[in-house]
Amino acid sequence: MMSLFERFGCGAMVGMLVLVFTLFCCWLPVQVGADFAYPDVFNDPDRDTPLYGKFPDGFAWGSATSAYQVEGGWDADGKGKSIWDTLAQAGGCAYGQTGNVACDSYNKYAQDVQLAKAMGLTHYRFSISWPRVMPDGTLASLNEAGLAYYEALVDELLKENIEPVVTLYHWDLPQVLQDVYGGWENDSLVELFNDYADVCFERLGSKVKLWITFNEPYVVCWLGYGIGVFAPNINDPGYGPYRAAHTIIKSHGMAYNTYQQKYKAQYGGQVSITLSTDFGLPEDENNPAHVAAADRYMQFTAGWFAHPIFKNGDYPDVMKWQVGNKSLAQGLSESRLPVFTEEEKQYIAGTGDFFGLNAYTTTVCKDNFRPTDPNYEDDQDVDRYQPDNWPKSGSDWLRPVPWGLRRLLNWVSQEYGKPIYITENGVSTADVAELNDTSRQTYYGAYINEVLKASVLDGVDVSGYFAWSLMDNFEWTSGYTQRFGLHYVDFEDPDRPRTQKDSAAFYAGLVAYNGFEEAGNGAVAVTSTYFVLATLLIVYFLL
Ligand SMILES: *[C@@H]1O[C@H](CO)[C@@H](O)[C@H](O)[C@H]1NC(C)=O
Ligand SMILES: *[C@@H]1O[C@H](CO)[C@@H](O)[C@H](O)[C@H]1NC(C)=O
Ligand SMILES: *[C@@H]1O[C@H](CO)[C@@H](O)[C@H](O)[C@H]1NC(C)=O
C-alpha cells in the first residue's frame, strides 16, 4: 500500500499538517475564548458552545428600571402614597429599608440617561408611578408636577437618541385605590386604570412609541394577592390571584383599545404587556406526564395572561379544567377561575403588539397530584425545584441556566407567534461593593448568546433585549441586599453616586458589535490567512 508520503510527497504532507493545525486554531477560540460559559455545570457541547455573529439590524439594546425601585421622592411635589410606600414604611422590607430615596432618580434622572448613553443603548425602559401622576388614583387629582417629571425624562432620553419604553404599572398602586376599592380584586379599577393610561398616552404619546401596560402581573397576583408577601399583602391563595388577574387582564384590554381608538393613527406606537415565567423544564423529557406538567406550569404563569391577550380572549383550557375540576372536588358550585363575558373576550383578544418577556431562570417540573384546599399553586398539580448543582446568584430564586432562555423563547414564539422583546433579564450579587463583577459578565454573555441562538438558529423573532438593571436599586422586600445593577450605587452616600461595573463595559461591547465577535480578536483573520496559504501549498504540490 502506497503511503500518503509516497503518493503526495513531502510538501503536501507539510501542507496538510498546516491545514490540520489551522482547523484546530479555528476551533480553539470557540472552546477556550468564551469566558461566559458555565463549564463546571453545563457542558453539553451541542447545546452550550457559544455562537458568534450579529443580531438582526435594528435590534433594540436597552436597560430597564422601575419607578419605586429607583426614583425616591416618595412624597415630592404632591406625589401620593403607593402600596409599596406603605409596605416599606411599615417595616415590611429587609432591615426596614424603603424606597423613600432609592437611587434618587427623581433628581438624578439626567445622570441615568448618561449611563445609558455611555453604554451605547438604543432604548431605556422605565415605569411611571401612578400616584405621582394621580395622587389618589383618579383624574380629579391629576398632578402636573408628576407629569412634568416624566416629560423631562423622556425629553432627556430623546436628546441623546435613546428611545423611551414606558411601563404604566410596575406594582406601585395608589394607596387610596387599595383603601377604597381593595385594589385589583375590584372591577372598578378597569376604568380607573384606563383614565390613567389615557392621560399618559395623551401627554407622552407623541414621544413614546413603545408602551407596556403591566409588568409581571403573575407576581402582582400571586405574591400580592395569593401568599401576601408583596404589597398589598393579601393572603388568599385560592381566590385572590384569580380575581386580581381578571381585573388586570380587562384593564390591559381596555387601555389597549383606548390607544387604538384615540392615538394609534396619530402616533403609530405599539402597546403590549410584560409577562414573566421561568422556563419549565420537564424532570424527565421522555415522560409525557412531566412534559405536560412543565407546559401547565408555564400556562399558569405566562399563559394565564398571554392566552386571553394574544389568543382568544379567554384563559388557557388547561387552567379552566384544572381550577374547575379542583373547585368541584372542593365542593364549590362554580370554578374559582372567573369567567369572561363574550363582550369582554372580544375586546381582550388580540390586544398585544409584541410579547414583553421578563426571564431570569429555569425550574424543573414534574407532575404531582396536589389535592387539599383552594390554592393557585396546588391547582397546577406541578412540583417544582432547582437542582443543587446549578450555579447560584445573590437571590435564592435565581439560578443562572442560560440555555433555558433559548428554550423559553422558542416556547413563547410557538405559542403566541409574536415578536418578542426581552424586557428584563439579569442577575443579582449580594450586597458587596464589587465593580469587577465577573459573575454578571458570565451571566449576560451566556444568556444573550442563547438569545442570539434563538434568533439566528431557531428563527425566533426577537426584537430587543433589556438588561435588568441599569443600576443597583431597591429590590422590593429584599431592600438593598441584592444588587442587579450594571452600575454600582452607594446607598450610604446622600448623593447616591453611580459607578460603572465591568459588566457595563462588557454589555456595551455586545451592544457596539450588535452581537458576539469571535473571541481573541484577529484570530479569525490570522487563521484564515493560514488556511489560504495551506490550501495553496497543497494545490501546488498536487499539481
Ligand atoms: C368595589 O369597591 C366599591 C367601592 O368601595 C365597593 O362598593 C364594592 O363592594 C367593591 N366590590 C368588590 C367586589 O369588592
Ligand atoms: C377536567 O375538566 C375538563 C372539562 O371540564 C375535562 O375535559 C377533563 O378531563 C377534566 N380532568 C382533568 C384531569 O383535567
Ligand atoms: C476581574 O477579576 C477576574 C477574576 O478574579 C480577573 O481575572 C480580572 O483580571 C479582573 N479584571 C479587572 C479589570 O480587574
Write out pLDDT tens, residues 281-314: 999 999 999 999 999 999 999 999 999 999 999 9
pLDDT > 80? residue 367? yes
- The verdict on 174 and 286 lying in the same domain is yes
Domain membership of residue 80 (yes or no) is yes
pLDDT for 538: 60
437 CA distance to ligand 3 centroid (A)? 8
pLDDT > 90? residue 187? yes
Ligand 2 touching residue 324 (CB < 6 A) = yes
pLDDT for 43: 87
Find the ligand nearest to 192 CA. 1
Please give the grid coordinates belonging to residue 134.
394621580
- The verdict on 92 and 5 lying in the same domain is no
326 CA distance to ligand 2 centroid (A)? 10
The answer to whether 349 and 315 have CB atoms below 8 angstroms apart is no
Q: What is the pLDDT of residues 410-438, one digit of tens each?
A: 999 999 999 999 999 999 999 888 999 99
pLDDT for 535: 58
- The verdict on 92 and 157 lying in the same domain is yes
pLDDT for 376: 98
Residue scoring higher pLDDT (21 or 227):
227
For 232, 280, 406, 514, the CA distances from 448, given in Å and listed in that order, are 34, 19, 9, 11
* 30 burial via Cβ count (<10 Å: 0-12, 13-18, 19+): middle
Beta 60-64 vs 123-127: how paired, if at all? parallel
Domain membership of residue 143 (yes or no) is yes
288 CA distance to ligand 2 centroid (A)? 17
Ligand 3 touching residue 435 (CB < 6 A) = no
> How many domains are there within the chain?
2
Q: What is the pLDDT of residues 112-136, one digit of tens each?
A: 999 999 999 999 999 999 999 999 9
pLDDT for 39: 75
Q: For a ligand 3 pocket test, name from 432, 437, 438, 499 the mutation site with the most ligand atoms within 8 angstroms of its C-beta.
A: 438
pLDDT for 26: 47
Peptide bond into 232 cis (omega under 30): yes
Question: What DSSP string describes 451-500?
Answer: HHHHHHTS---EEEEEEE-SS----GGGTTSEE--SEEE-TTSTT--EEE
d(CA 484, CA 395): 10
Read off the pLDDT band of 15 (50, 70, 90). low
Q: For a ligand 1 pocket test, name from 173, 186, 234 the mutation site with the most ligand atoms within 8 angstroms of its C-beta.
A: 186
The amino acid that residue 51 corresponds to is: L
Domain membership of residue 277 (yes or no) is yes
379 CA distance to ligand 1 centroid (A)? 27
Cβ-proximal residues to 126 (8 Å cutoff; 6+ apart), any chain: 64, 65, 66, 67, 70, 153, 164, 165, 166, 167
Ligand 2 touching residue 317 (CB < 6 A) = no
318 CA distance to ligand 2 centroid (A)? 8
Domain membership of residue 19 (yes or no) is yes
Q: What is the mean pLDDT of the chain?
A: 92
Ligand 2 touching residue 325 (CB < 6 A) = yes
Ligand 3 touching residue 500 (CB < 6 A) = no
- The verdict on 9 and 115 lying in the same domain is no
Q: What angle do CA 476, 477, 482 make, to 5 degrees?
A: 70
Average pLDDT over residues 212-224: 98
- The verdict on 394 and 263 lying in the same domain is yes
Average pLDDT over residues 382-409: 98
Beta 355-358 vs 382-385: how paired, if at all? unpaired
pLDDT > 80? residue 1? no
Which residue's CA is minimally distant from atom 9 of ligand 2? 321
Average pLDDT over residues 323-344: 97
pLDDT for 17: 61
pLDDT > 70? residue 193? yes
Return the ligand 3 atom nearest residue 502 CA.
13
Domain membership of residue 327 (yes or no) is yes
pLDDT for 520: 55
Which residue's CA is minimally distant from atom 3 of ligand 3? 438
The answer to whether 455 and 462 have CB atoms below 8 angstroms apart is yes
Residue identified by cell 401596560 is 213
User: Is residue 519 classed as helix, strand or coil in its secondary structure?
Assistant: coil
Domain membership of residue 31 (yes or no) is no
Domain membership of residue 104 (yes or no) is yes
Domain membership of residue 225 (yes or no) is yes
Q: For a ligand 1 pocket test, name from 173, 177, 188, 243 the mutation site with the most ligand atoms within 8 angstroms of its C-beta.
A: 188
Find the ligand nearest to 316 CA. 2
Read off the pLDDT band of 6 (50, 70, 90). low
pLDDT > 80? residue 239? yes
Q: For a ligand 3 pocket test, name from 35, 436, 437, 442 the mutation site with the most ligand atoms within 8 angstroms of its C-beta.
A: 436
pLDDT for 2: 45
Question: What DSSP string describes 339-382?
Answer: ---HHHHHHHTT--SSEEEE---EEEEEE----SSS-TTGGGTE
Which residue's CA is minimally distant from atom 3 of ligand 1? 181
d(CA 258, CA 201): 9
pLDDT for 29: 37
- The verdict on 13 and 85 lying in the same domain is no
Ligand 3 touching residue 186 (CB < 6 A) = no
Cβ-proximal residues to 63 (8 Å cutoff; 6+ apart), any chain: 116, 119, 121, 124, 125, 466, 467, 468, 469, 470, 486
Read off the pLDDT band of 23 (50, 70, 90). low
Ligand 3 touching residue 438 (CB < 6 A) = yes
- The verdict on 529 and 490 lying in the same domain is no
pLDDT > 80? residue 531? no
- The CATH number of whichever domain residue 457 belongs to comes to 3.20.20.80
Read off the pLDDT band of 27 (50, 70, 90). very low
Average pLDDT over residues 229-243: 98
Please give the grid coordinates belonging to residue 538.
497543497
pLDDT for 518: 86
Return the ligand 1 atom nearest residue 182 CA.
14
Percentage of the chain with pLDDT > 90? Answer: 86
pLDDT > 90? residue 500? yes
- The verdict on 530 and 421 lying in the same domain is no
pLDDT for 34: 57
- The verdict on 197 and 268 lying in the same domain is yes
pLDDT > 70? residue 61? yes
pLDDT > 90? residue 526? no
Read off the pLDDT band of 98 (50, 70, 90). very high
Residue scoring higher pLDDT (210 or 39):
210
Return the ligand 1 atom nearest residue 188 CA.
1
Please give the grid coordinates belonging to residue 355.
410579547
Question: What DSSP string describes 235-296?
Answer: --TTTHHHHHHHHHHHHHHHHHHHHHHHTHHHH--EEEEEEE--EEEESSTT-HHHHHHHHH
88 CA distance to ligand 1 centroid (A)? 26
Ligand 2 touching residue 267 (CB < 6 A) = no
pLDDT for 282: 98
**How many distinct helices (H) and strands (E) make up the chain?**
21, 17
pLDDT > 90? residue 346? yes
List the domain range (segments joined by +) for residue 199.
36-518
Average pLDDT over residues 473-478: 98
Return the ligand 2 atom nearest residue 325 CA.
1
- The verdict on 535 and 429 lying in the same domain is no
Percentage of the chain with pLDDT > 70? Answer: 89
- The verdict on 18 and 50 lying in the same domain is no
Ligand 3 touching residue 436 (CB < 6 A) = yes
Ligand 2 touching residue 289 (CB < 6 A) = no
Residue identified by cell 424586557 is 423
d(CA 319, CA 235): 21
Residue scoring higher pLDDT (539 or 143):
143
- The verdict on 452 and 538 lying in the same domain is no
Residues near ligand 1 (Cβ within 6 A): 180-182, 186, 188
Read off the pLDDT band of 20 (50, 70, 90). low
Residues noted as catalytic: 424
d(CA 481, CA 485): 12
pLDDT > 60? residue 534? no
The answer to whether 65 and 469 have CB atoms below 8 angstroms apart is yes
pLDDT > 60? residue 30? no
For 334, 382, 409, the CA distances from 330, given in Å and listed in that order, are 10, 18, 36
Q: What is the pLDDT of residues 176-186, one digit of tens each?
A: 999 999 999 99
345 CA distance to ligand 2 centroid (A)? 22
pLDDT > 90? residue 503? yes
Residue scoring higher pLDDT (534 or 338):
338
